[in-house]
Amino acid sequence: MRTIKGPAIFLAQFASDNAPFNSLDGIAGWAAGLGYAGIQIPTWDGRLFDLKKAAESRAYCDEIKGLLAGHGLEITELSTHLQGQLVAVHPAYDEGFDAFAAPEVRGNPQARQAWAVEQMRLAAKASRNLGLSASVTFSGALAYPYMYPWPPRPKGLIETAFAELARRWRPILDAYDAAGVDLCYEIHPGEDLFDGATFERFLEAVGNHPRCAINYDPSHFVLQALDYLAFIDIYHERIRAFHVKDAELNPTGRQGVYGGFASWVDRAGRFRSLGDGQVDFAGIFSKLTAYGYGSWAVLEWECCLKHPEDGAREGAEFIRSHIIRVTETAFDDFAAGAADEAANRRALGLDR
């Protein structure tokens, strides 16, 4: 067993044009002041990080690490959620996702996809230059608009979608393998990888690629009424990153899992700040620790009610209080003696 590292915080929801959230130095000082030990960096936010420069310059990466070390912080992972989303976009989402891309490729799906693939490759190199072992991302979606089978899906549609998804991702996974970095997909509604069954389908399609991993986030499972503790039992070998995010599902006579047309406040399924929702984090930290997960516990704040700065402040202590410092001895060691083969044989009645 290993002790989970943390607390850490994903910066994407906090970065802004206002100090201290508009520079890496400023936001790092803020996070450290709250008690965080690690930060997860959104690679698309030029106010905080230059992805291309990080891919090309070890000196720049050393500068970044030195700046963060000055605040007592480490980088947990690089995030490419927005770029990964653009590796596979169904036409229904073209308008919405265009804003995630560089201005010069907007309105051109082919150019946008090529840009996204190159961004993913840059992130692999940057992760290597920073000495990181994992990166977190989204899979994108080709099949998700057909998730609920009405009207009936054309025969073979899902198979074709996942074959194409794997074709696009396999070279990227190979690039991460060459860099020595796990690529951890956040299992998330809206992506083609939204539950265990879809992850398995994708994993098989990419030939059980050793770098194909999971960014575990229980909040997305609560909103699907999926057993998020059993998920750890099934997929713990592939869980190599962890977003600590809370949620609640309160179905009513008016709406349930599919109540997504309402505002976030009015939905049956809502994201909440840590400790305000329904997620059993004691159970999660216990299972992950027992299975030997020793990487970072990273707060992702997305609450429909609480102010983000309050959620961040409370989240640091919440995560710290849930990290289990693993024992080096068994609780009953005091009553055990040294190994004695003769005594063991006598206890088993083998020498009578």
Cis preceding linkage at 145, omega within 30: no
Beta bridge partners of residue 299, listed in sequence order: 9, 244
Above 70 in pLDDT, residue 140?
A: yes
Tens-digit pLDDT profile for residues 51-91: 999 999 999 999 999 999 999 999 999 999 999 999 999 99
pLDDT score at 244: 98
pLDDT at 2: 95
Mind listing the domains of the chain with CATH numbers?
5-347 (3.20.20.150)
pLDDT reading at 331 higher than 70:
no
From the list 144, 195, 186, the residue with the least C-alpha distance to 165 is: 144
**Per-residue DSSP letter, 297:** E
Q: Which residue, 161, 135, 168, is CA-closest to 41?
A: 135
Average pLDDT over residues 189-218: 98
What tens digit of pLDDT does each residue of 266-278 get?
999 999 999 999 9
What is the reported pLDDT for 321? Answer: 98
Report the pLDDT averaged over residues 318-331.
90
Which residue did the predictor score with more confidence, 1 or 251?
251
| pLDDT tens profile 16-65 | 999 999 999 999 999 999 999 999 999 999 999 999 999 999 999 999 99
**Which amino acid appears at position 139 of this protein?**
S
**Please, which pLDDT band fits residue 335 given cuts at 50, 70 and 90?**
low
pLDDT on residue 195: 98
- Assigned token pair, 329: 């001895």
Whole-number percent of the chain with pLDDT over 90? 92
Q: How far apart are CA 12 and CA 67, in angstroms?
A: 19
Question: 102, 115 in Cβ contact below 8 A?
Answer: yes
DSSP string of 206-236?
TTS-TTEEEEE-THHHHTTT--HHHHHHHHG
Q: State the number of CA atoms in the 13 A half-sphere of 203 facing the CB.
A: 20
The neighbour count for residue 127, using CB atoms within 10 Å, is 27
Spell out the SS3 assignment of 164-185. Answer: HHHHHHHHHHHHHHHHCCEEEE
Asked if residue 328 has pLDDT above 90, the reply is no
Average pLDDT, integer, range 224-249: 98
